Amino acid sequence: MAGALNGRRVAILATDGVERVELEQPREALDRESAETTLLSMNDGQIAARNNDLEDAGTFPVDRRVGDATPDEFDALLLPGGTVNPDKLRMDPTAVAFVRDFVDSGKPVAAICHGPWTLAEADRVRGRRLTSCPHEKAEIEGHAFGPRPRRRLQRRHHRHRHHPPRPRSQAPGH
């Protein structure tokens, strides 16, 4: 029986440190709806999964290297989280370029938990509405809006704001 996503091709971009549940459960849901999923990673072989970033959680076989894939081959992109996985992805220029090109294609992108880190590194969150875990807000906003300007402290005459400057003749020790 054909599902709602019959024949849709979904790229899943992940690497070592991916949170197992954040790759496995969405992939199973996509498979149930008859999507064709492809696990892309930076290297061939397998990627190591984690539970809660701390515990080993087995491996997933990689279908293709991200450097050998193009967004034109897929209908959607899934970016699972964990903290280690997206942190490694955002340090890889090939993975970041793939994400940037995918977003630019206008096709759907789903990013789970810390997954938006890679979108932010690709500079593709600016001006977009995202959902995220509450603890991700500062990280994503920092990329979305750039560094916030720092106020320069003015120390010309005042050591403390609540005390006016004293004339030199009244300063202690004079």
pLDDT tens across the length of the chain (174 residues): 578 999 999 999 999 999 999 999 999 999 999 999 999 999 999 999 999 999 999 999 999 999 999 999 999 999 999 999 999 999 999 999 999 999 999 999 999 988 998 999 999 988 877 766 676 666 666 655 444 444 444 444 444 444 444 555 555 555
Which strands form 18-19's sheet, in the order they lie side by side? 18-19, 46-51, 55-61
Instruction: Check: CB of residue 89 under 8 Å from CB of residue 118.
Output: yes
Active site residue 113: yes
Q: Please pick, among 113, 119, 120, 140, the residue that the annotation labels catalytic.
A: 113
Q: Is the pTM value of this prediction over 0.85?
A: no
